[in-house]
Structure 1
Amino acid sequence: MSKRHLVLQTDFGLSDGAVSAMHGVALSVDPELSIYNLTHDIPQYNIWDGSYRLFQTINYWPEGTVFVSVVDPGVGTKRLSVVAKTKNNQFIVTPDNGTLTHVKEYIGITEARIIDEKINRLPNSGESYTFHGRDVYAYTAARLAAGVITYEQVGPSLEVEKLVELPIAQPSYTEDAVVGNIDILDVRFGNIWTNIGREIFKKLGIKYGDNLEVTIENNRRHIYKNIIKFGRSFADSRLGEPILFVNSLDKIGVAINQGSFAKAYHIETGANWKITIRKPQGIFN
């Protein structure tokens, strides 16, 4: 069989040799493997962000690509190590701790297998319990990507319904407003990305150039409230002004033109961060 691409994601950062060790293990399985980095800047222990970054990226890779995602605060515990097969015939090697949440919800997972560590573990690493990213995940993923093992040889089957999932809130719509969560930050630029899809947003009957009232709350505490224009791109606002836009995942984002919205207003992500967008009453439209 032809070799598959191997893509790595972790919360390890690049300041030490951890990621390099994972590359080395994979290349020791097959020096001709093509290995790529998705990101190694997931916030430490943040399983939600790891799950979201997989969802953000996975559909843009060829069929058969093998992904490794290691955000693993439970390393060394009884949490399972799995390889999931997606609806689009890709593979994710990861701890079963919620990392598969967004892919399962929005893309689909058809099969899952528990990694049999008696077979799929770096030789002579059996006494190490704190670096499964190197000893189990990179090694198993490389063997799968290189065709050394088949998917069936990963280990015993696990019912997809038993995979650990994090709670996902769905956006809601009323006659004059949509309400959602702040799912993730566009970290480099400080934009905030919501879970409000373009289709539900369109139910407000808005058009480009409309001004909308945006309220952001954290545990019902008001963090931000302002009137913001809905634009096609950042160029539709003046330098330093906020703008609503449709992001690359077809969901609503909020930005400051050449500034960081998240940093300016100390915005974070998660189930407790709510955003409400409504048509304002009065003279704004």
Structure 2
Amino acid sequence: MGNPLILQSDFGLGDGAVSAMCGVANCVDQDLKIYNLTHEIPPFDIWEGSYRLLQTIAYWPQNSVFVSVVDPGVGTDRRSVVARTASNHFIVTPDNGTLTHVNKEIGITEMRLIDETVNRLPNSGASHTFHGRDIYAYTGARLAAGLINFEQVGPLLDVGQLIKLPSMDAFMEDDVLHGIIDVLDVRYGNVWTNISRLQLADLQVQYGNLVKVTIKHESAIVFEQEMVYGRSFAATEKGESLIYINSLDNIAVAINQQSFAKKYKIGTGVDWKVFIKKS
């Protein structure tokens, strides 16, 4: 019995790309258990791909193999790698920043360059635009099935040379919490920050207290308002804003039964800053 193989991409499900990846994995080993993390990453959004791995990876057994393909540089000289995490999971991906959040929060302990002379779908050498199928799904399936071990992926790389996206740690200054918007809770439009529950506790904020939330994009204020700190959405009336603790133990900003992100046109990444102050 092999290890789980979990697929993530920005391909969507409107064509056969994801099915082709699953097909390649099944051809490697029909007994593999193959799962989808998500294929709804916005096109070319490496930052979100990086975050979704962090959001998910800790809930899978050790030795699970993740294949993450958000690859605007496909066909260039960007590296194709397999990384081993400190939690003993494996991630097969282009080295383009996709490992940023996992490296920061969990740690990457080893990384190997995929040797495409042996770890590439047979008879696919003339194709340079679908590495998700020809290299990543194939290598990930072989690793998950135990047909190769980590050492057989390819030569060892310097983890210090890992490509990282710009990021920022949350911090407190002058009784104001400073953070960034890490990701959106896409379906419901809630805004997830990198400010932790413990950091909010440093403000001595209790459930029911009011806080002032300011969101800036670059230097422009796009939102500023007082709102309640609630245990759940039921702490407010429909249409009212609140902050709450999300499933990753960080602060999130929301509107009860509406999309905060859509209403205020909120984005993600280091250019989107959030500030929280006790009222």
- Ranges in structure 1 where 5+ consecutive residues have no aligned partner: 281-285
Quote the Cα distance in structure 2 between the aligned partners of 1:240 and 1:217.
Answer: 22
Q: CA deviation at 1:71?
A: 0.2
For 2:79, the equivalent position in structure 1 comes to 80
Q: CA deviation at 1:176?
A: 2.0
Quote the Cα distance in structure 2 between the aligned partners of 1:222 and 1:104.
Answer: 31
Q: CA deviation at 1:271?
A: 1.1
Q: CA deviation at 1:43?
A: 0.6
Q: TM-score, normalised by structure 1?
A: 0.97
**Equivalent residue of 1:180, what SS?**
strand
**Is the CA contact 2:189–2:261 (under 8 Å) kept in the aligned structure 1?**
yes
- Please state if 1:279 is matched with 2:262: no
Quote the Cα distance in structure 1 between the aligned partners of 2:219 and 2:78.
Answer: 34
What percentage of residue pairs aligned between the two structures are identical? 60
Post-superposition CA distance 1:100-129 (Å, at most 9, x none): 010000001111100000000000000000
For 1:283, the equivalent position in structure 2 comes to none
Quote the Cα distance in structure 1 between the aligned partners of 2:45 and 2:195.
Answer: 22
Quote the Cα distance in structure 2 between the aligned partners of 1:67 and 1:41.
Answer: 16
Post-superposition CA distance 1:148-170 (Å, at most 9, x none): 11111000001111111111111
RMSD in angstroms over aligned alpha carbons?
0.7
After the TM superposition, which segments of 4 or more aligned residues of structure 1 sit over 4 Å from their partners? none
For 1:173, the equivalent position in structure 2 comes to 172
| Larger displacement relative to structure 2 (267-276 or 29-38) | 267-276
For 2:200, the equivalent position in structure 1 comes to 201
Q: CA deviation at 1:19?
A: 0.3
Q: CA deviation at 1:200?
A: 1.4
The residue identity in structure 2 corresponding to 1:199 is L
The residue identity in structure 2 corresponding to 1:10 is S
For 2:251, the equivalent position in structure 1 comes to 252
- Matched ranges for 1:120-199 at <5 A: 120-199=119-198
The residue identity in structure 2 corresponding to 1:146 is A
Quote the Cα distance in structure 1 between the aligned partners of 2:119 and 2:208.
Answer: 56
Post-superposition CA distance 1:77-116 (Å, at most 9, x none): 0001000001111100000001001000000111110000
Post-superposition CA distance 1:44-77 (Å, at most 9, x none): 0010000000000000001110000000000000
Post-superposition CA distance 1:181-219 (Å, at most 9, x none): 111000000000001111111111111100011111111
Quote the Cα distance in structure 1 between the aligned partners of 2:101 and 2:29.
Answer: 31
For 2:61, the equivalent position in structure 1 comes to 62
- Ranges in structure 2 where 5+ consecutive residues have no aligned partner: none
The residue identity in structure 1 corresponding to 2:250 is K
- Please state if 1:113 is matched with 2:112: yes
For 1:103, the equivalent position in structure 2 comes to 102
Post-superposition CA distance 1:223-278 (Å, at most 9, x none): 11111000111111111111100101111000111110001111111111111111
**Equivalent residue of 1:53, what SS?**
helix
For 1:25, the equivalent position in structure 2 comes to 24
For 1:44, the equivalent position in structure 2 comes to 43
Quote the Cα distance in structure 2 between the aligned partners of 1:116 and 1:61.
Answer: 26
Q: TM-score, normalised by structure 2?
A: 0.99
| Larger displacement relative to structure 2 (118-127 or 169-178) | 169-178
Post-superposition CA distance 1:12-47 (Å, at most 9, x none): 000000000000000000011000000000010010
**Equivalent residue of 1:60, what SS?**
coil
Q: CA deviation at 1:175?
A: 3.3
